[in-house]
Amino acid sequence: MVNNEARTLRCPRDGGQLHTEKHDAIEVDACPTCRGAWYDFGELSQLEATVTHDEASLAGMLEYSKRDSELKCPMCAKTMVAFDYRAHAVELDACPDEHGFWLDAGESERVRQIMQERVGDMRRSAEAQARWDRDRESGFKGGGIIDRIRELFTGRR
């Protein structure tokens, strides 16, 4: 929760009362019945930030294939928007008025896994780029065709 005002939220799945709990050091409103949890808007990025602060990994679109959710926002009761989290097979629900996100049981773990994979991918592509730059540099050093032609004309080695 961002603010401390008392509120009673109901689970959008089973109507049970949500309880404030700490998940990954983030205060969420969790359902004791289905183990889903409500993340206030901004807390989803906090969840991602528990894995990495790497801007490249955190950048990019979050909400793919948006469609109407079967769930209603626990704060304003509007029909939520279901989407594929970062184009993975993890369906999250968001309030269209940006009140927050609903994560079913296990989905916060999936979000953290996906962020870990993204960090790994970014690191690998950064390493590949560095390797490519290194190869290109050594390829040009004396061995390049331009250098050889230049040597022919100038006699310089």
Task: Give bridge partners of residue 79 from the DSSP assignment.
Answer: 72
Rounded to the nearest whole angstrom, what is the least distance from the CB of residue 40 to Zn ion in the complex? 10
**Nearer residue to Zn ion within complex by CB, 58 or 96:** 96
Q: Footprint of Zn ion on this chain (CB under 5 A)?
A: 11, 13-14, 16, 31, 33-34, 73, 75-76, 95, 97, 99
Which lies closer to Zn ion via its Cβ, residue 62 or residue 75?
Answer: 75
Taking CA atoms, 12 is separated from 37, 57, 60, 65, in Å, by 10, 30, 28, 21
> In one letter, which amino acid is 68?
D
CB 29, min distance to Zn ion, A? 10
Q: Which residues contact 22 (CB under 8 A, 6 or more apart)?
A: 28
Residue (53 or 78) nearer to Zn ion, CB: 78
Give the separation between CA 146 and CA 126, rounded to whole angstroms: 29
The count of C-alpha atoms lying within 13 angstroms of the C-alpha of 133, restricted to the half-sphere facing its C-beta, is: 6
What is the H or E stretch that residue 67 is in? strand 63-72
Of 33 and 52, which CB lies nearer to Zn ion in the complex structure?
Answer: 33
CB of 44 to Zn ion, least distance (A): 14
- Positive or negative, the CA dihedral 93, 95, 98, 104 is negative
Supply the minimum distance, in Å, between the C-beta of residue 3 and Zn ion: 15
Q: Least distance from C-beta 38 to Zn ion, angstroms? A: 10
Cα 127 → chain centroid: 21
When the beta carbons of 16 and 91 are compared against Zn ion, the nearer one is: 16
